[in-house]
Chains A and B, each alone.
Chain A
Amino acid sequence: MLEEVKHVILVLSGKGGVGKSTVSTQLALTLKEKGFKVGLLDIDLCGPSVPYLLNLEDQNIHQGSGHWIPVYLDKEKKLAVMSIGFLLKSRNDAVVWRGPKKTSMIKQFLEDVYWQDLDYLIIDTPPGTSDEHITVMENLRNVPQCSAIIVTTPQQVAIEDVRKEITFCRKTGIPIMGLIENMSGYECPTCSECTNIFSTGGGKSLAEISKIKFLGSIPIDPRIGALAGKGVAAVKELPDCTTSKVFNDLINHLPHTTANGS
């Protein structure tokens, strides 16, 4: 049911914990603030964090005639969300599935969710280059407007895995829109000295070497961390922080579409 979706944006990283879900949710919230119709699909089946991040943990998916109706963040239905988290009985429930089951769940997410017309569908992914990723790629092969944003943190341990993800994109033919570096530095709340906890500049130099557009650096900002679980856009809540600037700029790099007013 992706016929009415104008653009699909995959958020990828080979490494875990680099901030894919934070980038996905903030990107979706930023687009919603700008008046677009957005969908957010969480295909991290073993560790879905989107429902928590958007403060939707108690929501349920409703069954339509032969399809699933996503959860809407707002009354105006500008932001639609789908995650396996909505299908679990308890937040402690573990999804202990091998590849084939994950594959069929993701196929259902792509085929059976009634997204309606969307300007952007953002897909948040787990780390790695395995079942989830292969399945999404195979199923999006026929969706023309599809590209990827790569998220990394600056240190070598992360860069090493992200290089593998770039190879994955190139092998499967998905265009890479650009790369975001997250957790670049941390400003001490006492003395304001900025420490590069996870070293510095790794994302930018990776972008240069791999000939990928660099979309900006996001610092470690506890104020952004505190937005987790609230479901509000950084660009609205903290318009002057670096993170908001990066997301505002990011919108300009997205493939263009006219805001869907209807």
Chain B
Amino acid sequence: MSSVPENAPNHCPGTQSEDAGKASACAGCPNQNICASGVPAGPDPALEIIKERLANVKHKIIILSGKGGVGKSTVTSLLGHALAKLNPDANVGILDADICGPSQPRVLGVSGEQVHNSGSGWSPVYVTDNLSLMSIGFLLASPDDAVIWRGPKKNGMIKQFLSEVDWGDLDYLLIDTPPGTSDEHLSVIQYLSAAGVSGAVVVTTPQEVALLDVRKEIQFCQKVGLPVLGVVENMSLFVCPNCQARSEIFPATTGGARALCAALGARLLGALPLDPLLARCCDSGADFVAELPHSPAVLALRAIVAGTRLRNIARPPRVFYTLPV
């Protein structure tokens, strides 16, 4: 593993490990004091390795939301399918950075697949010719397997995903994340600081409990200098399949994503309706964009894709530092 220095003794736990500097193998190692202090020595060499590995990835977009279950994984997969379809010559990759609750293998219909390790790194799983995926879900023996890891181990996994997956040339790399503003998010941003990130797409639902967390997420983006490409409001309206009447299942009592965007100066990319067929497609791994091209959700998606692409080109990748450790 790359976190083992060259001059390390046998059985070195790795500089990123919780046991760094404390394991029995560390006795006598010249790096022991640095490791034990918990302060990383100089810039992590992984940043350069990742920059090189992702040199041929044009746009790196992080999908975020403070709140759980608002549809980050759904939006990521929809964006992935839509971007790949829009331009058959473009290549799109999805990295599932949700280590404890990976959803992408199921949502993209490739659960049960295996990733292969070759000389040039891990090959992602191909969903279609130009849409590929890497997820910890591919590394688990059974769907019941729980990944009971504290932060440092999750961070190590994310570092490996970013430095060791052989994506080939990509136009877009979409990164799905777990809810919150913690290890996974900080690690993705930190490890990509040399390679550069285009920005974040923030997903929310209309009700105040969700907006509450999304405000925090946008503040997080500002704190770490990550440009917000825009906000997607998901599950906005429900259209009854029986009588076609529209209703608000999650009422926007405080003005929904629109008011939030206006207050925080973010751009609203679009609103996706709540569609039971979309939930079915996620469960079965079917490609919703291909199955129901004329549904209101796919029509709404078009505007979102257009917005994401526009902003992408307008904004040069930025570099940020000073992240909390």
Contact = CB atoms under 8 A, between A and B. Distances in A.
Interface of A: 14-18, 21, 45-47, 49, 52-53, 91-100, 102-103, 126-131, 133-134, 153, 155-158, 160-161, 163-168, 171-172, 186, 188-191, 193, 195-199, 220, 222, 225-226, 228-229
A127 B249 CA distance: 22
B208 interface: yes
Contacts of A93: 216, 219
Interface in B29-59: none
Interface of B: 66-70, 73, 99-101, 103, 106-107, 143-152, 154, 178-183, 186, 205, 207-210, 212-213, 215-217, 219-220, 223-224, 238, 240-243, 245, 247-251, 253, 274, 276, 279-280, 282-284, 324-325
Contact of B144 (A126, A163, A188, A193): A163
Contact of A131 (B106, B143, B144, B150): B150
10 contacts: A15-B69, A16-B178, A17-B70, A18-B69, A92-B219, A130-B100, A160-B103, A198-B279, A228-B208, A229-B253
Contacts of B178: 16, 127-128
A49 B145 contact: no
Contact residues of A: prevailing secondary structure: loop
A123 B146 CA distance: 21
Contacts, number: 209
A18 B215 CA distance: 20
Contacts of A193: 240-243
Nearest to A22: B209
Given A52-B209, A164-B100, A186-B238, A16 B67 contact: yes
Contact of B216 (A95, A167, A220): A95
B106 A156 contact: yes
A160 B179 contact: no
A127 B101 contact: yes
Contacts of A127: 68-69, 100-101, 178-179
Which 3 residue pairs of A and B lie closest in terms of their CB atoms, listed nearest first?
A: A16-B68, A17-B69, A99-B151
A195 B239 CA distance: 10
A47 B180 contact: yes
A129 to B, nearest CB: 5
Contact of B276 (A172, A195, A226): A195
